[in-house]
């Protein structure tokens, strides 16, 4: 107010405009420098690619990517948000890799399913995505070499474990390479002018279950119908004016269907865990998990005895799940998640002891712990 009184409002506005322009000019210069550095980085990536090809090394080193993210987050002094570092550098890495070879990723389709979103969260927009109709198809694409990796759902914080994914590992030669933790936020999509005009709601059974109370309260008059995926529901809402879909915001943008209501899930803290599957398990990152499955002879204290080696070696078990062994009635396969990498000595010692007591054991993979940061 004092400045305005002394110099007048118009004069001060000109001063502000000049200062804003100076700041914008500085930002433009920094953006030019960033672009120059990105191209220099890409040149180095291409050189590394040539060396890998000559030495027949792995083209894509997942643990190296994780080390980059961790180092940058730990080194960030601010004010740039640490939560934004991973998604930004994910796209930089994805685009740089595509100069050598485009990674091909298999995931549940069609486009814009939550599985597809999780795959993008791991591999970025520059990867190529194969959209399959089933989880077994994802395993098949990777096993046959038509995809470099697959992304499969393993567990939802509300609905529990995806048993089909666990069952596939019993005979599959593939390994777990990474895990992705994705927040599941459901939206109501429709071209209908109001909720009263919606006659049918389509979605995947799991999404419908996650929004059961909201639907009962807000759309009691609408018919509820199940679809193969939330993305398929969005496609149906795209084509029919009085139809609604429960799907993600990403699906709304992909298929051009307006969002009527945001975050309609009954549980606002809803996450799904996905596994990235591939032919090779990554090396240590220092912040890893290991998953394995085993079967044991039934008897008093059998489960206690098989778990004791982990406790003796100070290893934290984060999950234990049992499944019937399809080939042997009344026998069970145990799936175990634990903290640490199979190359860590405590983990290696524990697995050796458990192997000696098991009828069957298979290490599914050691991989970096997932992060909830997008």
Higher pLDDT, 325 or 251: 251
Q: What angle do CA 239, 245, 247 make, to 5 degrees?
A: 120
Give yes or no on whether 187-261 and 285-368 have one common fold.
Answer: no
pLDDT at 108 over 70: yes
- Tell me what the mean pLDDT of segment 29-45 comes to: 96
**Bridge partner list, 151:** 276
Lowest mean pLDDT among 8-22, 44-58, 161-175, 352-366: 8-22
| CA 115 to chain CA mean position, Å | 7
- Rounded Cα distance between 203 and 201, Å, is 7
pLDDT at 374 over 50: no
**For residues 112, 239, 132 and 59, what is the CA-based torsion angle, rounded to 10 degrees?**
-40
**For a pLDDT cut of 90, what percent of the chain falls above it?**
75
Has 274 been annotated as catalytic? yes
- Tell me what the mean pLDDT of segment 195-220 comes to: 95
Q: Residue 302 — very low, low, confident or very high, per pLDDT cuts 50/70/90? A: confident
pLDDT at 4 over 60: no
pLDDT at 326 over 80: no
Catalytic residue among 274, 310, 334, 335: 274
pLDDT tens track for 254-291: 999 999 999 999 988 889 999 999 998 899 998 999 99
Domain ranges of the chain: 187-261, 285-368
- Tell me what the mean pLDDT of segment 91-119 comes to: 94
Place of tokens 């666990």: 166
CB 246 within 8 A of CB 187: yes
Q: Which CATH architecture has domain 285-368?
A: 2-Layer Sandwich (3.30)
Catalytic residue among 113, 165, 272, 285: 272
- Rounded Cα distance between 113 and 230, Å, is 6
CB 282 within 8 A of CB 63: yes
Q: What predicted TM-score, i.e. pTM, was given to this entire model?
A: 0.88
Hey, what are 132's tokens? 């399959």
Has 132 been annotated as catalytic? no
| CA 280 to chain CA mean position, Å | 18
pLDDT tens track for 336-355: 999 999 999 999 999 999 99
Q: Residue 330 — very low, low, confident or very high, per pLDDT cuts 50/70/90? A: low
- Rounded Cα distance between 374 and 363, Å, is 28
> CA quadruple 45, 46, 47, 50: dihedral positive or negative?
positive
- Tell me what the mean pLDDT of segment 39-54 comes to: 92
- State which fold the 187-261 domain adopts: D-Maltodextrin-Binding Protein; domain 2 (3.40.190)
């Amino acid at each position: 107010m004092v400045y305005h009184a002394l110099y007048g409002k118009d004069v001060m506005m000109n001063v502000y405009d000049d200062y804003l322009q100076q700041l914008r000019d500085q930002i433009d210069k920094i953006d030019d420098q960033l672009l120059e550095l990105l191209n220099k980085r890409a040149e180095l990536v291409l050189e590394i690619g040539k060396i890998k090809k000559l030495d027949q090394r792995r083209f894509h080193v997942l643990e190296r990517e994780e080390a980059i993210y961790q180092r940058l987050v730990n080194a960030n002094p601010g004010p740039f948000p640490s939560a934004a570092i991973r998604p930004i550098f994910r796209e930089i890495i994805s685009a740089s890799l595509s100069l050598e070879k485009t990674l091909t990723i298999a995931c549940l389709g069609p486009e814009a399913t939550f599985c597809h979103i999780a795959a993008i969260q791991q591999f970025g927009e520059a990867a190529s995505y194969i959209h399959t109709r089933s989880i077994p198809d994802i395993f098949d694409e990777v096993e046959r070499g038509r995809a470099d990796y697959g992304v499969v759902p393993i567990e939802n914080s509300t609905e529990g474990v995806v048993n089909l994914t666990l069952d596939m590992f019993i005979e599959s030669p593939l390994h777990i390479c990474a895990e992705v933790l994705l927040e599941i936020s459901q939206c109501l999509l429709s071209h209908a002018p109001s909720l009263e005009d919606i006659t049918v709601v389509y979605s995947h059974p799991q999404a419908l279950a996650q929004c059961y109370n909201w639907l009962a309260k807000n759309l009691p008059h609408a018919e509820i119908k199940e679809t193969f995926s939330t993305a398929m529901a969005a496609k149906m809402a795209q084509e029919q004016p009085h139809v609604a879909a429960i799907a993600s915001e990403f699906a709304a943008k992909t298929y051009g269907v307006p969002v009527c209501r945001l975050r309609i899930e009954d549980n606002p803290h809803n996450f799904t865990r996905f596994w990235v599957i591939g032919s090779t398990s990554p090396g240590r990152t220092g912040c890893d998990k290991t998953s394995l499955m085993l079967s044991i002879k039934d008897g008093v204290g059998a489960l206690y005895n098989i778990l004791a080696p982990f406790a003796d070696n100070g290893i934290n078990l984060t999950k234990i799940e049992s499944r019937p062994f399809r080939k042997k009635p009344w026998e069970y396969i145990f799936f175990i998640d634990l903290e640490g990498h199979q190359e860590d000595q405590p983990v290696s010692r524990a697995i050796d002891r458990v192997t000696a007591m098991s009828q069957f054991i298979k290490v599914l993979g050691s991989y970096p712990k997932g992060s909830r940061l997008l």
